[in-house]
Amino acid sequence: MPTENIKRNGASRSWRDNLIDIEPYVAGEQKRSPRLVKLNTNESPFPPSPLVSKAIEGFDAEILARYPDPNAKGLVRTIAGREGLPEEMVFVGNGSDEVIAFAFKAFFNSGLPVLFPDLTYSFYPVWCRLHGIPYEQVPLNSDFRIGQEGYARGNGGIVIPNPNAPTGIAEGAEFFGRLLRANTDSVVIVDEAYYGFGAETILPLTRKYDNLFVARTLSKAGSLAGLRLGMGFGSPPLIAALNAVKDSFNSYTVGSFTQCAGAAALSDQAYYDDAAAKIIGTRERFTAAMRGLGFSVLDSSANFVFVTHPQLGAMELYEWLKARDILVRWFASPAKASSHLRITIGLDSEMDALLAAIEEYMQGKEI
């Protein structure tokens, strides 16, 4: 009698009571409408490099009948060559979300709390809960910057995006060098999802600190959010642990098609440098215009800005813009985010449309 056995073991009678009870990450809306000005999930407004289109057109669908190379060796070799690192220091995955989720599983097993800022990428607490990893959130300083102090204690690991999201504020290699010197007993993950928009990379420090792991993605500056390709860099033992986790979930995380298109994107740095320069130019222009309207705008090194206005409710403005087909991101929590909007930097024309709408809104409020 299986039911009785289960009861004797203390489990619940109904399968419904045994489903996972977890609060998942809530992704930004992927609303589609031809008129939509989509500035809510930090995608690039530019298409991927023309070399990606060429690779896709030349891709032989017959290849898809077979499983991909589970270790994506060709792609790993390309990335390693580009960054001047040995292949044993490179990992690739199905988006950097997967890379970082595997990293939590692979690196954070001490039982001590993992530390990350109290205003940061909201997937970090979700992965901790999924994997059963204790965590503590370290308050940002009053100027929304990350301080060293809160991290100078025993921990099971540290995760920091650089630049941080949603603030857009970046710290330099000196900051991370200091953090790493003060923290040699656990792994430090630096999430460089927004690398390419002006922040200094700390990738070279992976040679010096064997407990440093750097994650990157092609989803933001690479204009390939739909392809799902992420990567990570760290010492050979870190990469070996990641591969062990990957091969315990799914050996074939990166498909043949993604390997092919991703390699093409990585071979056209000039195209992406040009696209990033345009986005940075638009960001600076938009930041100045918003400050002119009385908004406070944090200095961003990413492709988004984090803004607030002393006389405007952020949620109200978000709803008003959404009703006019302009989508930005508003976070209901934590409290220190809910008075702000995170706005992705799109095309000049899109930012102009947003500015005009905000001016109209403010006129209606007589501000």
Query: For ligand PLP, what does the binding mask look like between residues 290 and 329, x meaning CB under 6 A?
Result: ----------------------------------------
Between CA 236 and CA 96 the distance in angstroms is 19
Choice from 121, 197, 271, 330 touching ligand PLP (CB under 6 A): 121
Smallest distance, ligand PLP to C-beta of residue 275, A: 17
**Is residue 168 part of the contact set for ligand PLP (CB under 6 A)?**
no
Q: What is the secondary structure of 161-186 as a DSSP string?
A: ESS-TTT-----HHHHHHHHHT--SS
Number of residues that bind ligand PLP (CB under 6 A): 13
- Buried b / exposed e over 59-88, threshold 16 CB at 10 Å, is eeeeeeeeebeebbeebbebbbeebebeeb
Strands 230-234 and 212-217: antiparallel
The two tokens of residue 200 are: 């200094």
**Is residue 279 part of the contact set for ligand PLP (CB under 6 A)?**
no
Choice from 48, 198, 230, 262 touching ligand PLP (CB under 6 A): 230
Smallest distance, ligand PLP to C-beta of residue 119, A: 12
Choice from 45, 48, 95, 168 touching ligand PLP (CB under 6 A): 95
**Is residue 350 part of the contact set for ligand PLP (CB under 6 A)?**
no
Beta-carbon contacts of 50 under 8 Å, excluding residues fewer than 6 positions away, are 268, 271
Tell me how far CA of residue 243 lies from CA of 41, 67, 185, 232, 240, in angstroms. Answer: 29, 17, 21, 11, 5
Only segment of 17-25, 95-103, 256-264, 293-301 that touches ligand PLP (CB under 6 A) = 95-103
Smallest distance, ligand PLP to C-beta of residue 302, A: 8
* Alpha helices (runs of H) in the chain, residue ranges in sequence order: 2-8, 50-57, 73-83, 96-107, 123-131, 173-181, 236-249, 256-266, 269-292, 314-323, 348-364
Smallest distance, ligand PLP to C-beta of residue 305, A: 14
Q: Residue 25 is which amino acid? A: Y
Smallest distance, ligand PLP to C-beta of residue 218, A: 7
Only segment of 128-136, 214-222, 282-290, 316-324 that touches ligand PLP (CB under 6 A) = 214-222
Strands 326-327 and 37-38: parallel
Query: For ligand PLP, what does the binding mask look like between residues 72 and 91, x meaning CB under 6 A?
Result: --------------------
Smallest distance, ligand PLP to C-beta of residue 111, A: 25
**Is residue 165 part of the contact set for ligand PLP (CB under 6 A)?**
yes
**Is residue 219 part of the contact set for ligand PLP (CB under 6 A)?**
yes
Smallest distance, ligand PLP to C-beta of residue 71, A: 19
Between CA 274 and CA 280 the distance in angstroms is 10
Between CA 366 and CA 25 the distance in angstroms is 37
Binding positions for ligand PLP, rule: CB under 6 A: 95-97, 121, 161, 165, 191, 193, 217, 219-220, 225, 230
